[in-house]
Structures are given as structure tokens and as C-alpha cells.
Amino acid sequence: LDLQEALMVREEEACVGCELEAEPGPASPAAIVIFGATGDLAARKIIPALYNLDRSGRFHAASRVIGVGRRPMTTEFFRGSLAESTRGFSHSGFDPAVWAKLAARIDYLEGDMADDKLYSRLAARLVEPGMPPDRIFYLAVGPDQFAPTALALARAGLGSASFSSATERPSSRLVVEKPYGRDLESARALTRFLHEAFAEKDIFRIDHYLGKETVQNLLYLRFANSIFEPLWNRNYIEGVEIEVLETGGIGSRGGYYDGAGAARDMLQNHLVQLLCLTAMEPPSSLDPEALRDEKVKVLRALPRYANEDYLARSVRGRYSAGRSPAGIAIPDYVAEERIRPGSATETYVAVRLELDNWRFAGVPFVLRTGKALDRQVSEIRIHFRQPPQSLFSLPAGETLSRNVLVLRIQPDEGLWLSFNAKVPGQTRVNRSELRFSYREADDYFPEAYERLLDDAIAGDSTLFIRADEAEAAWSLVDGLEAAWRSPGAAKPIDYPAGSAPLPLPGEVVR
């Protein structure tokens, strides 16, 4: 072996980055019970994710799916309607042969979720021959049904809280969708109910942003490289912007959305999770508790401001009639379906906060999200400080532009770093970019729910929200909501659909 070959062999043996890259085969078989199986989430996300897991060999051949719904229908009809929706929503296309294999493992169970008899029938179904002993109960239902369903499962002997040992079979896990409460108090109450039925280690609270490849890449970028982390602090970072901007309005979701608003719908969960991953300390391992401990520390470093400070560092808005960038007419928010008369719900929120910790003290983090805006983009922008000395001659009034690292979550997933470079043949400085595009580098791009379902089946809770984390995440939104209800608060600012994001008080739009 010459030296180069020897080095290559050594690298392969050491398997650089193995811990992060190991891809085991399918997790052991499980019976997946989906409550709310005839709803939108099952049709758009859960079943297409199972289809794609199955297609790529990640869904065990002995796994089974039981869809629970109130609507009377046969299993055949249920499978047929899921075939149609999966054809439309699968990101990898639709192969009838692959579908047939999955469909044969899907059954329908009709019943009223408020009736204990449903759960006894389910318990009987789960011990039929061929059913895997491990169970996942997926609550794809409205938040008011989370606690009653979990408690009914426990009454039918299907919860996990009564099992004494971690290895006792069958394993029984609960997957809970958002919203997790509507404030700290209700989140705590929900946790208490869920814990009566399931042990904390068996509760998998979903924030689908954590299933996104580009969001997980934030961890890889920070902790699988040595060049970013030394700069990742108040000495080099001037400010951070975290944005999830959407062009669509609320569509037919008024019934849910009007009681939530942008702060509860997006800020409390997705944006706060992005903040945690951006600002946390390196965890000691990728163990679920190690990672989640670090995220909770960031949440505890969120300051609690006085009402007038929250008002001075936030802006909220609500869209009125306008057009999306594609020219689609969007009605006034209050004219959307199922909006309460006199509603003051916000469809846009931005807030500037500083974390109370050593690494980021004094660094502004701006979190911004809204609907019916002029662009569809989710990204994190890290603005670095200017070089301490200006060596190069610049036209009067100009300064060197700062380095910005942009992590684009969607669309055009990737990242880029802007830097200053010399213009050839001149003494001018020009802003240039190093770019990486995920889509160009990889053709297989799994959807968030695929990863999350795979992990829930394998019992890996790293990318799920722990109870203390879900509760701590309410502190920011509870503070904002209290300020917005205080006497000095103005109503949400009106913005015509298709507008640019509203600036924060005193913010200069560049």
C-alpha cells in the first residue's frame, strides 16, 4: 500500500462521522394505530410517509396499521381512499406494486373515540394472530382529544404507565401532534393527564420541523465541523434571524387557527425549536436526553420581559384581502371560514430577544413568521461582526459587508456563506458567496414525517419534544400574549396579502 491508500484504509476503518451516519435496517415490527385516520394529516403526511418508508425497506414487513375513525366505511374503501391521497402526496411518486404491499397491512376500525367500547375492540384486535406486540398510538386528532384518548387507552390496558420495567413487553408508545396546550398552564395539565396513561419515555411529541433534513443539518453543521463552532458566540456573531414566511393564507383551517394565531401556531414550536438548535451548547452525545437537556437550557435562558418591553420588541399583524405572489386572490382574514366576529388573532408575528446566557448575551435573535406574505421561505441567517479594521479603500459612505451564513430550510434547501473578495484587475471589494445545494448533492430527500415515524417505531426520542421542553417553550408566547392583552397594546397591524414582512419597531428594512 502506498501512503495515500494506507490513509484511505485508515479513514474507512475509523469510519469518520459514523455515529451520525449509521443507518440501521428497519426497526422491529410494530402495530401502528392512527386515531383520526380519515383526517387530513393521515392522508397528507402519515400514510405517504409509511409508504415511502416501506418503499425504501425501512418499514418492517410484519408491521401493521389500524386506522381508527368515526366514519362508517369498509377496510377496502379506506385503503382505496388512502391510495388516492398517497398518489397525490407521496414525494417519490406512486408505485402500485409497492402500495399493494403496504395496503394489505392496513385495516380500518370504526368507532366513537368517546366510547370505551371502541378501546376494548381495539385491544382485542391488537392481540389477533399476526399482530406485532409493540404498539404505537398516533393521535392525529384535535388537541381536545389528546388527554381523553390517552386515558381511554389506559383504561383498556393499552397505556404504558403501569408497566414497571423498561424492557417489559409489549412496548406501548403515544405519538402526540401539536398544539401541545395553549399556554404553560394547559400544557402542564396535559402532561399530567398523559402521564397517567403513558410513561414520559413512551410519549413522542411531534414538532415536524425537527424531522426536516435541513433542520437536522444544523446540528451537523455546528458539531461535525470544526470551523464554525469557535465563531459561534457573542464575540463573532452580531445577530441572528430565524424566519418562516409563507405565501398562503389560512385556507380552510380557520376553526383551529383563529383560536391559535401565528404565535401559538408557529412561534411557540417550530421557530423556538430552530432557536434552540441554533443557540444550544454542544451536547455530550446524541443521546436523546443529552440533546434535549441542552435545548431546555436555551429555553430557560429566554428572558421574561415586562409587558411594555415585549410590545417594544415585537410586532404582530393580520392580513387583509390581497394576492399571493402567484396571483391567487386571498380574502381578508376575517372573511375566511369560521373566524369569530371581532377576532383579534394575528397571522404575523416578529420578536427580538436576547438570551440570558454567557455564549449569546447581548446578541439579538429576531424570530419572524407569518402567512399571506410576499415570499415562501424558511431560513436562519447568522450575521457575523465586521472585521475590526478597514484596510481596503471603499467608495465614500460604504463599509465592508458583513459575513452572513444562511441556512435555507426550504425551498432550495442548502446553505451559503457570503464573504468579501477582490474584484480581479481592480482594487474594489465585492460580495461573493460559497454555496451548497442539498438537491444538487442528494437525490433522495426524505420528508419530515418519514424520519419521525421511523424514529418513533425504533423508540428513539431524540427528535421529539420532552415534557419539560414543551412547557418551557411556552414562556416566550405566554409573555407576548400577556403583553398583547395589556392596556397599552395596539391591535394587530393590517397588511394586504402579498406584502413584505412587517418590520419590528425601530427596524430599518434593508
Active site residues: 270
- In 344-428, DSSP assigns E strands to 348-354, 364-370, 377-384, 404-410, 414-422
Contact (Cβ atoms closer than 8 angstroms) between residue 427 and residue 392 = yes
In whole angstroms, how close is the CB of 278 to ligand BG6 at the nearest point? 17
What's the min distance (Å) between Cβ of 265 and ligand BG6? 5
Query: How many Cβ atoms are within 10 Å of 17's Cβ, its own excluded?
Result: 10
- The position carrying cell 471603499 is 394
- Distance CA(450)–CA(453), nearest Å, equals 5
Residues 110, 243, 246, 336: which binds ligand BG6 (CB under 6 A)?
246
**Grid coordinates given for 264:** 401559538
Number of residues that bind ligand BG6 (CB under 6 A): 3
Nearer to ligand BG6, 108 or 138 (CB): 138
User: Least CB distance from residue 260 to ligand BG6, whole Å?
Assistant: 8
Per CB under 6 A, which of residues 254..273 are in contact with ligand BG6?
265
The distance of Cα 361 from the centroid of its chain, to the nearest Å, equals: 26
Closest alpha carbon to 139 in 152, 149, 125: 149
Pick 126 or 373: Cβ nearer ligand BG6:
373
Exposure string over 185-205, b if 16+ CB within 10 A, otherwise e: eebeebbeebeebbbeebbbb
**Measured from the CB atom, is 107 or 246 closer to ligand BG6?**
246
Q: Write the burial class of residue 448 (CB in 10 Å: 0-12 exposed, 13-18 middle, 19+ buried).
A: buried
Q: Cα separation of 36 and 180, whole Å? A: 17
- Beta carbons within 8 Å of 228's beta carbon, 6+ residues apart: 221, 222, 405
336 binds ligand BG6 (CB under 6 A): no
Nearest approach, Cβ of 196 to ligand BG6 (angstroms)?
27
Helix (H, G, I), strand (E, B) or coil at 135: strand
For the CB of residue 378, give the shortest distance to ligand BG6 in the complex, in Å: 6
Residue 217 vs 378, nearer CB to ligand BG6: 378
Least Å distance between CB 494 and ligand BG6? 20
CA distance 334 to 27: 47
Residues 375-394 that bind ligand BG6 (CB under 6 A): 378
Q: In terms of CB distance, is 246 or 478 closer to ligand BG6?
A: 246
Q: Which is closer to ligand BG6, CB of 107 or CB of 265?
A: 265
Residues at the interface with ligand BG6 (CB under 6 A)? 246, 265, 378
